[in-house]
Amino acid sequence: MAATIQDWTESTVLLKYDQQRSVKYRVYRDQSGIFQEICDASGRPIHTLEIPDGMKLDKSSYEVMLRYVLLDVVAA
């Protein structure tokens, strides 16, 4: 069973060249670790990032990680 660390949060992420992407994400812990799940605005999965255990983050840090993940995923 997963425990919510941060419930679904909507965000508009600025990407390169004045592009932006509307997404939502949540952070949760399950038996295997801590994860940041990212979906597009309609709820389709984009990426799930495993956060190293013991890495305590605040909301603004999750936003920064979100931007870097999206830049990496969009570039791929």
Encode the chain (76 residues) as per-residue pLDDT tens digits: 789 999 999 998 887 777 788 999 999 998 888 899 999 999 999 999 998 877 667 777 888 888 888 877 765 5
* pLDDT for residue 15: 78
Q: 57-66: long-range contacts (C-beta < 8 A, 24 or more apart)?
A: 57/27, 59/6, 59/9, 62/6, 62/9, 62/25, 62/27, 62/36, 63/11, 65/36, 66/11, 66/13, 66/23, 66/25, 66/36, 66/38
* pLDDT for residue 66: 83
* pLDDT for residue 59: 75
* pLDDT for residue 51: 87
